[in-house]
Structure formats: C-alpha cells, structure tokens
Amino acid sequence: MTALLSFWPLFRQHIGRMGLALLLAVLTLAAGVALLWVSGWFLTAAALTTAAASFNLFGPSSLIRGLSLVRILSRYGERLVGHDVTLRLLSALRGWLFARLFPRVPLPSRDLRHGDLVSRLTADVDTLDTVFLTALGPILTALLIGTGMTVGLFVLLPAAAPLYAMAMILALAGVPTVLILFSHRLGAELVEASAALRIAMLDRIDGHADLVAFGGLAAAGQEFDKAAKRLARARRRSARAGLLAAASVQALAGIALVGVLWCGIEALRQAEIGGPLLVGLLLAVLASFEATAMLVRSVAKFGAAVTSAERVRAIAQMAPAISDPHRPVMLPNGALSVNQVTFGFDPARPVLCDLSLTISAGERVAIIGESGSGKSTLLALLLRLHDPQAGSIAMGGTDIRTVRQADLHARIALLSQSAPVFLGSVRDNLSIGRAEANDAELWAALEAARIADFVRSLPEGLDAFVGEAGRTLSVGQARRLCLARVLLSPADILVFDEPTTGLDRAMETDFLADLAAATQGRSVILATHAEIPEGAVDRVLALADGRLMPVELTGG
C-alpha cells in the first residue's frame, strides 16, 4: 500500500483533470439515479391517473429528457477527460520510470530477466496508471450518491433510511475491505504469473532459431504452456473473487430494495407516501448501487495494482551503479592513465589487480588476452561503467570520478562487443554517433568502416531501414555499421572491444590495417583476439592474472 501511495506525487500533478473526471462521474451517476426516480414516479403517476387532464405531463417528461441529456453529456465528458488524464498519467509514469532506469543500467540485480523488466515497464505501469482514477472515482461517487440517497430517504421515507444506509455502508466499505484482503495475494500471483509468461515468451522468441536447431521446441512449448496455465489459473481465481464480491453487492442492493419496499408499503397504507413516489424511490435505490458495483470492479484490481507498484518502485529504488559527483570539475585534455586499479564484479575475486596503464594522446594500444581475462572489464572501467575498488583512472591527471559522465562520454567512444543496431534507418543509427553530421561525413564514416558500398547498393541509401537489432543486416554488416557510428563520434579516444567479431579472416586483417587511417589523430584502445597487422597499433599489451604485460611487436 505504501508502494502505491509513493506514486501519489506523480498523480497529484494531474489533480485538476482527475477532479473534473470525478465530478463528471458523480454527475453521470446522479443524473442516472434522478432519471430513474423521475421516470418511475412519472410512469406510475401517469398509469394511476385516469383523468389525464388533471395530470401535468409536460413538466416530468421534459425533466426526463433534460436528465437524459445531462447523463449523455456528462458520460461523454467523463470518458473524454478520464482517458485524457489516464494517458497523461501513463506518459508521466513512463517518463518518471525511464528517468530512473537509465542511470541504473546495467541493473545490479542479475535476477532481473529481460522479460521481467519489459513486464514492469509495460504491464505494471499500465496497471498503475488507472488505479487512482478507477479507485478514487467509484469511492467518491458511491459515497456522495449513497449519502444523497440516504438523506432523500430520511426526508421521504424515514423508516427505510437506516436499512438503506447500512446496506450501502456494507457495499461501500465491508465488501471492498474483505476483497482487498483477499485480492492482495491474488493480485500478486496475477502480476507474477503474467510476468512469468512474458519472460517465457521473450526467451523463446529470442532463442527460437537455437530451439529449432536443437529440437527443443516441444520442451519450450510445454514450459510456455505451464506458464500460460498458471496465468489462466490466477485470472480465474481473481475473477471468481471479483464475481463473489459483485454478487454480494447485488445481494445488498436487493436487501435495500426489499427493505425500502417493505417500509414503503407500510407508509403507503398510512398514506404517508404516494404510490408514484414510492416507485420512483425504489428505482433510485437500485440505480444508486451502480456506484458500488463499479467500486467492487476496481477494488478487484487493487491487489494487482499494489504488486505492480512494488515492482515498479523496486527498479526506481535500486542504487545507481554510478552517479555524477555533486560538484563536477572540468575534464582536461591529456593522457589517459589507469593507476593501480583493482576491480572485481565480486570484490572477493578481482578480475583486474593493481593494474596500471598510460595512453598518451594519439597513441594506439592493443590489449590481448585469453577469453575471460578481463579485457572488456578494463574498457568498461575506462568509460566509468563501473568504479574500481582500489586505484583510480584519470584523464589529464583528473580522476574521472570527479567529472560528469556526459563529459567523459563525449571524450571516449566505445564499440562494445554487443553494440546494438537500433530500429530505424542507416542514418538514424549513424546519427547517434554525432547528431549534427552531414551526409558527406556519414559517407566518410561508412567508407572508413568499409560498408559504404553496401549502403550505396540499397535503394534508399542512407535512409534504408535496418530492422530491429539489425535483423536486415549480416553480422559483419551490423558490426561495420556500429563501427561507422563510433568513427563518426567526435571523441578523441576510441575504445574497440573485439571490433572484428563476425568478420572473416581477410576482412579482419583489412579492417585492423584500416583502423590506423580511420582513427588518425585519435587515441585507440583495441581489445582483440585477432592477429594484429603491422603498423595497426603502436603497442600491444597482454592481460593475464589481472595485470598488463608488454608484448613485443613481431611485425606481422
């Protein structure tokens, strides 16, 4: 519950629109109650009146038309304002969540699967955006209508008022309270089962080709089936609880109706109330319970909303892996130096131990080493994606922990091992490297990455669409497109992590030989398993046991 309330400040920003939506909801229901009241009274009165001349038809019928019109217009307005505020809340929630997510990526929790994250960012946020409106609306509406109706009964049929008030209080507070107690557990299971299904689905879509190749589709299908059945079970249980609550509210409405009828017949006998008015009251009593039915429907979703709030808040509350300093200093030019750095993802098992390295401006250095020796880890530290447990990394003598990350990343560009191709055109993908680059510069980067001929062969050239994760490209083409993006960056230090992954041997040699020309005047740090051609780098260092050792260049 506190998790849910912690989102209140976001919702408060839209309090005006939410208030309007609530007001229109109250007006709609009030007009509905009044409409049934007047209609019941009017029809009965008209039926009982034999001498039609003595009965004023005009007044009630125009009141009915007026109330119908009010109901239609307020319902329309309520939907319009309600949807508008819901979409605004959705966008505010998403914006808020993404703003908190970005500084926390890569997420420290290794338990958080891709599908689960997607689930939190979509389904959980969707559950949250309507919660205040769908919960607050019916509560307030039912409270107002219930109070109004009780007051009306006190005036017109006092004997029936306590029974009605009791039934209304039970429907308004008793049933929802019991439902909330049950729905918390059911809602949590619903959200978790839904996330599990999403995880299973995304895992199987991602690994579809391998599952087909290894004949694992049947087993994967069974797992998926299990997750789907779990969700179906959770939905059934949740729906059952909701239905039971709805039935209880209907039963309370019935009791209230019978009670009012009972007292009404007695009052009719005593001539304390007229027949038409009693019929009107009975219909109004029925209509007034519409609000409590709405309340039960939204309360049934309450458990899921609380769980969703906890899951979304859990992301937002993770400590960011890296934060900017409170008083950042300017990042000077100069050599990049790694000073006696020790780092391990698990501090008890350091990947890098007391490692030192200095790269002067314009120098090109290759780092080689066995798989798992820590090359990518070292490059990640240079970009301050993690902070070392001991030692420091400095640029021009300034510790990179004392500068803004954005300033550092403007100076160091990375081609990571898993650099992504984004959904969009070739141009979109390149522009990430430098947004203001003109076509000539884009083509120059493509030439340097040796992918210009391929892009030229595409009918749309720079505007050719490349699918999600580069699905319309070969692995080598995707890699070269990412390389062109890095070359386009104005950064003066370029960091390449296995840049030749996916290229054949001949292309690999060509690529590394071209690297020197393509990166002229900039520092290059290159982690690679490939054979390094002569002249491609100034120095080669081998990483082993967490330390760097110079390797003699053999000239091929």
Binding positions for ligand ATP, rule: CB under 6 A: 345, 351, 369, 371-377, 417
Least CB distance to ligand ATP at residue 21 (A): 46
Our CB check for ligand ATP shows the closer of 220 and 321 to be 321
Contacts 24+ apart (CB under 8 A), 32-35: 32/71, 32/287, 32/290, 33/145, 33/148, 33/149, 33/284, 33/287, 33/288, 34/67, 34/284, 35/64, 35/67, 35/68, 35/71, 35/287
Our CB check for ligand ATP shows the closer of 194 and 376 to be 376
Least CB distance to ligand ATP at residue 353 (A): 12
Least CB distance to ligand ATP at residue 527 (A): 6
Least CB distance to ligand ATP at residue 389 (A): 14
Structure tokens belonging to residue 460: 């749309």
Our CB check for ligand ATP shows the closer of 106 and 325 to be 106
Cα Rg of the chain (Å, integer): 34
Give the alpha-carbon dihedral of 360, 364, 368, 374, to 10 degrees: 50
Our CB check for ligand ATP shows the closer of 48 and 105 to be 105
Strand 493-497 and strand 523-527: pairing?
parallel
Our CB check for ligand ATP shows the closer of 381 and 442 to be 381
Distance CA 406, CA 510 (A): 33
Our CB check for ligand ATP shows the closer of 307 and 377 to be 377
Least CB distance to ligand ATP at residue 184 (A): 35
Residue 361: is it exposed, middle or buried by C-beta count within 10 angstroms (0-12/13-18/19+)?
A: middle
What's the full length of the chain, in residues? Answer: 556
Helix (H) or strand (E) holding 548: strand 547-551
Least CB distance to ligand ATP at residue 369 (A): 5
Say whether 42 sits in a helix, a strand or coil. helix
Question: Which residue type, as a one-letter code, is found at position 544?
Answer: A
Chain centre to alpha carbon of residue 284: 42
Say whether 272 sits in a helix, a strand or coil. coil
Our CB check for ligand ATP shows the closer of 371 and 554 to be 371
Least CB distance to ligand ATP at residue 373 (A): 4
Least CB distance to ligand ATP at residue 347 (A): 11
Least CB distance to ligand ATP at residue 480 (A): 19
Give the alpha-carbon dihedral of 421, 422, 428, 433, to 10 degrees: -60
Q: How many other CB atoms are there within 10 angstroms of residue 123's CB atom?
A: 17
Least CB distance to ligand ATP at residue 380 (A): 7
Question: Residues 367, 526: contact at Cβ < 8 Å?
Answer: yes
Cα within 13 Å of Cα(101), Cβ side: 13
Distance CA 538, CA 536 (A): 7
Our CB check for ligand ATP shows the closer of 49 and 417 to be 417
Q: Which residues are registered as beta bridge partners of 493?
A: 412, 523
DSSP annotation of 542 reads E
Our CB check for ligand ATP shows the closer of 233 and 529 to be 529
Question: Which segments of 270-289 does DSSP mark as H helices, in order?
Answer: 275-288
Our CB check for ligand ATP shows the closer of 44 and 376 to be 376
Helix (H) or strand (E) holding 368: strand 364-368
Our CB check for ligand ATP shows the closer of 489 and 528 to be 528
Our CB check for ligand ATP shows the closer of 239 and 475 to be 475
Question: Residues 364, 516: contact at Cβ < 8 Å?
Answer: yes
Least CB distance to ligand ATP at residue 530 (A): 11
Q: How many other CB atoms are there within 10 angstroms of residue 329's CB atom?
A: 12
Q: Which residues contact 528 (CB under 8 A, 6 or more apart)?
A: 366, 367, 368, 496, 498, 499, 500, 512
Least CB distance to ligand ATP at residue 534 (A): 23
Give the alpha-carbon dihedral of 379, 380, 382, 387, to 10 degrees: -140
Helix (H) or strand (E) holding 308: helix 302-317
Helix 131-156, helix 15-48: angle, nearest 10: 40
Least CB distance to ligand ATP at residue 208 (A): 25
Our CB check for ligand ATP shows the closer of 142 and 524 to be 524
Residue whose C-alpha is closest to residue 249's, from 298, 301, 176, 303: 176
Least CB distance to ligand ATP at residue 501 (A): 9
